[in-house]
Structure 1
Amino acid sequence: MSVHAADEISLAGVRAMLGGCEEMEFVPAEPGSCADVLVVVEDEVVGTGTFAMLRRWQSSSCETGPRVVLVVERFNSEHLLMAVECGVVALLPRADLRESTLVSSVIAVSQGAALLPYRMQGILLDQLHQLRSQVLAPAGFTLSGIETRERDVLQLIAQGLQTDEIAEQLTYSEGTVKNVLYGLMARLRLNSRSHAVAYAMRAGVI
């Protein structure tokens, strides 16, 4: 776990709150440190500087980057999707922060939980719906990043159909079916049809 704060007092305070928990091990607060959880403490409204910093962490850290607990005074709901893109999975109000709340939140996040205020959850779902309907669907994509025709092909592969049968059912040529699969596997670095089907099932696409 790492802690990043806008000022030294906040940094010392948060580290003191978390320091008594034996389950936590601190690593340097810098990109590439392979922290599984990053606690970020901001004084004011989260802005572009915070998101730029989080993107550096996500792009340079081990594997998928840290899960971010954001402690902030005020948060603009319009930035929710951007925050999620940058790894934020928990939003904690700075004014109400307590040691027990922070410790339990960090532990929960390290175990895969997400902690967003109820109002923010509704707003995020609305934003995801708008993204799907206004941006992704017109371009032929789903929220998972899989194209709709890729999804159709994978559904038929999962049912046990062969290339010629898929082509006939979707009124594609066999070459088109093969190109759809090749493009999907190359883009997502999947090594076989079964791997592609498993990926789509985990993503909830099929």
Structure 2
Amino acid sequence: MATPSPQISVALFSEDPLSLSGIQTLLRPRPEIDLLHREEQQQAQVAVVVEHTIGDDVLVTLRRIQRSDCSRIVLVAEDVNGIQLAKITECGVTGLVMRSEVTPEHVVNVIETVAHGGGHLPSGLLGDLLGEIGRLQRQRVRPNGFPSIGLTDREIQVLRLCSEGHSTSEIADELKYSERTIKNILHALMERFQFRNRSQAVAYAIRMGLF
């Protein structure tokens, strides 16, 4: 008798309770999938993130997951354009499922592909991704060959720690600065780029591939 394949441990993430409930209902009966409880999420082989739209808050969530032990990410989303596709790829997404294509078989197949080191994009989106990556590369470099990003090394360090969920005091301790200095760094950065909040600043650094 054939030995059954081991289950793939999966952590689920969504800001929408209905979406979270829906993906749980879809995956729970599947024998290939072991759905983990919230306190076990760090042990997951694959993280499945379900969102309607891809905003800065979603990019921050994806980057946080990418930096955890669970680095393989499948995103289920309503619609994704070329710009968003490049952003989520930078944030570690290797499997993308459009909501219109969601079936138990398809989602499980993408999870299995990602768990074994592969990737999945909906048909027709690869060209969009390659085109956007090329555009971003041209945009990031000035004619003289120097990067056009506009962040100092210290600002990048601060934003990297922000992306990992650290408080201002924790960032100050980590970088050996005063808390006031960290606040001043963030305030100056917000003013210079006209960011509305820290999440927007972090998302900008992510898009520029700075961490």
TM range (shorter): 0.5 to 0.7
1:125, 1:30 → 2: CA distance?
A: 37
Corresponding residue number in structure 2 for 1:35: 44
How far did 1:131 drift?
4.2
Q: Unaligned 5+ residue runs, structure 1?
A: 141-206
Aligned length: 136
Distance 1:18 1:28, change over 3 A: same
Distance 1:82 1:31, change over 3 A: farther
1:126, 1:30 → 2: CA distance?
A: 40
Q: Unaligned 5+ residue runs, structure 2?
A: 1-9, 148-211
* Residue-by-residue CA offset, 1:24-72 (whole Å, 9 max, x unaligned): 2223447971422111111x3211110111112222x12xx42211111
TM-score with structure 1 length normalisation? Answer: 0.57
Question: Which structure has the larger Rg?
Answer: 1
How far did 1:95 drift?
2.5
CA RMSD of aligned residues (A): 2.6
* Residue-by-residue CA offset, 1:149-187 (whole Å, 9 max, x unaligned): xxxxxxxxxxxxxxxxxxxxxxxxxxxxxxxxxxxxxxx
Corresponding residue number in structure 1 for 2:71: 66
* Residue-by-residue CA offset, 1:100-136 (whole Å, 9 max, x unaligned): 1111111111112211123220011122333445546
TM-score with structure 2 length normalisation? Answer: 0.56
1:57 counterpart (55, 61, 65): 65
1:123, 1:103 → 2: CA distance?
A: 25
Corresponding residue number in structure 2 for 1:106: 111
Q: Retained in 2: the 8 A contact 1:67–1:88?
A: yes
Higher relative contact order (CA 8 A, sep 6+): 2
SS of the aligned residue for 1:75 comes to: coil
Q: Retained in 2: the 8 A contact 1:45–1:76?
A: no
Q: Retained in 1: the 8 A contact 2:81–2:128?
A: no
Amino acid at match of 2:11: S
1:78, 1:31 → 2: CA distance?
A: 33
* Residue-by-residue CA offset, 1:75-106 (whole Å, 9 max, x unaligned): 23212221011111122111331111111111
1:101, 1:32 → 2: CA distance?
A: 22
SS of the aligned residue for 1:119 comes to: coil
SS of the aligned residue for 1:13 comes to: helix
Q: Retained in 1: the 8 A contact 2:19–2:50?
A: yes
Amino acid at match of 1:51: L
